[in-house]
Structure 1
């Protein structure tokens, strides 16, 4: 009976497994294979050959931009996710405490998150323009010197601020949805015992919504690590390579300045390898939060 049930279940999940293999596992295996070759879009047909770990050796020992792109990606991810988590939680708590016009406020907050990345890049490129951008117009209006927001020293900061503006609403929505599930009994008991709002938040509310926060943190971290669209639309990795995150470095190696698909594939494999420990750590945190 149990065996028959298992066979029946397989009929239902088989299509999903086939799709998973076709769109995930097979391309990943193909990526590994290509990373071990000298595949170049500019090379003549039939000249493809196996080079072993030569592409990886090139990235580690010769390609200095590879290491810089890792550093830029880490800075971008850590700062963006950290600020968004704190700011998003604070806004969610404020929304939960003041429920007047709740739907209107929620609708307005999510606007940055639903706008197309290409449109966001275009809007911010105009706003940050040194000569006629609205931000520098306001700065000059109060007697200060204009800021080169997309200069070599400030471009990464500008991208971080834009990411915070765009994705803090996501943290707000996830946190706010978690706050709606907090039972009133523990909060009332804590209030009767004389606990302050901060104590109730620390010992009652946050432990209850920690699984949701952990999942949110995981998804947002992955999103930051693979960031491409807005960075490319706003700076294309420049000036120089001051904002060249790993995904942009892969794109430049494979399709823009060079056509070294083999080396770009090796870079993509290393990005995956670097991401796995982060995902594993955050996933364990999610499991631990659920067991509490």
Structure 2
């Protein structure tokens, strides 16, 4: 026992940072690692909602085989629309974010405080409340958007129909999270030194050339970080889609997170199968995150 205590004391003496990191590591283990291990265990069983765990049987990779063999065709539909949504939302948000951040970075622009204040509003609203608000505005009969479309153009759009529901959710996501990327990029632009731009101007470079040859390379790490955070979040989209469409009409907006929800709540509580889909979602997020981090390290 003394030897064990002596070993711990010597270790802490040689690694004093351990006692500061230990509480955070303990929280990480309790809130992340243990639930993740339990999720993997559940995915290997036929466990259903309401069962005593002793009734569950080990089925190995059967739940995963069922997904990838095509016996659950809705799964591949969910994967497809989740990836398309993630690509579109992050691409549009990045482009808009750069445009607004560049505008805010101009010394001549006098409304920075007002614009930043307005942009913080969508970020302060929870996705559930944002979904409810936009659901009212998307209403085909008395919604605010159709009112103005009818007033100025004489048209009405059924925003939450099978053809338009996906794009409606995309609009809400862009509205709510473009400010996040904008503020990240704007904070980065404020740290970029002016000297390279002045030198480029002397050499005859125009604004577009300066942006692509100076701004983009110097902002690359921050851009990758913004993409990483938003892509991981977009892949896990649930709140907004659930409030607006609940995955419908039909399966038109059943993203992976909603597919998990439906399996667990609407299909006899198939917890084991839902856990398998959740792991696939986790692996997608991890793969994209690792790819972006690898790109960032390579650039460094």
Q: Could you tell me the TM-score, scaled by structure 2's length?
A: 0.92
Aligned-CA RMSD value: 1.6
1:23 aligns with 2:31: yes
Deviates more, 1:262-271 or 1:39-48: 39-48
Moved more, 212-221 or 128-137: 128-137
Distance in 2 between the 1:99 and 1:6 partners? 54
**Contact 2:12 2:18 (8 Å CA) reproduced:** no
How do residues 143-154 of structure 1 correspond to structure 2 at under 5 angstroms? 144-154=154-164
Aligned counterpart, 1:81: 90
Structure 1 residue runs of 5 or longer lacking an equivalent are none
1:245 matches 2:255: yes
Match of 1:134 in 2: 144
- Cα distance in 2, alignment partners of residues 179 and 200 from structure 1: 13
Instruction: Report the equivalent of 1:218.
Output: 228
Task: For 1:225-240, list aligned pairs within 5 A.
Answer: 225-240=235-250
Per-residue deviation at 1:271?
1.2
Match of 1:279 among 260, 285, 289: 289
Q: CA deviation at 1:48?
A: 1.4
Quote the residue 1:190 is aligned against. Answer: 200
SS of equivalent to 2:15: helix
- Alignment check: 8 A CA contact 2:12 2:19 kept: no
How much does 1:58 deviate?
A: 2.1
**Following the alignment from structure 1 to structure 2, what is the Cα–Cα distance between the partners of residues 100 and 143?**
33
Aligned partners of 1:117 and 1:6: how far apart in 2? Answer: 47
Unaligned runs of 5+ in 2: 1-9
> Could you tell me how far 1:3 is from its partner in structure 2?
5.9
**Aligned runs of 1:76-115 on 2, under 5 Å?**
76-97=85-106, 98-115=108-125
Please, what TM-score do these two structures have when normalized by structure 1? 0.94
Distance across 2 between alignment mates of 1:274 and 1:213: 20
C-alpha distance 158-100 of structure 1, shift in aligned 2 (>3 A): same
- The match for 1:11 is 19
**2:73 counterpart of 1:72:** no
Q: Give 1:133 deviation, angstroms.
A: 0.7
CA-CA distance at 1:223 after TM superposition: 0.6
**1:200 matches 2:210:** yes
Q: Which moved more, 1:38-47 or 1:84-93?
A: 38-47
Question: Structure 1 residues 4 and 50 mapped into 2: Cα distance closer, same or farther (>3 Å)?
Answer: closer
Alpha-carbon spacing, 1:45–1:288, altered in 2? closer, same or farther (3 Å): closer
Pairs aligned (count): 289
Q: Secondary structure at the match of 2:34?
A: helix
Indicate the larger mover: 226-235 or 102-111: 102-111
In structure 2, the residue matched to 1:58 is 66
Larger mean CA deviation between 215-224 and 183-192 belongs to 183-192
Preserved contact between residue 47 and residue 53 of structure 2 (Cα < 8 Å): no
**1:162, CA displacement in angstroms?**
1.1
Quote the residue 1:41 is aligned against: 49
> Deviation of residue 288 (structure 1)?
2.7
Q: Determine if contact 2:131/2:243 at 8 Å carries over to the other structure.
A: yes
SS at match of 2:16: helix
How far is the alpha carbon of 1:184 from its aligned partner? 1.3
Q: Secondary structure at the match of 1:8?
A: coil
> Residue 43 of structure 1: CA displacement?
3.7
Question: Matched residues in 2 for 1:179 and 1:12: separation?
Answer: 34
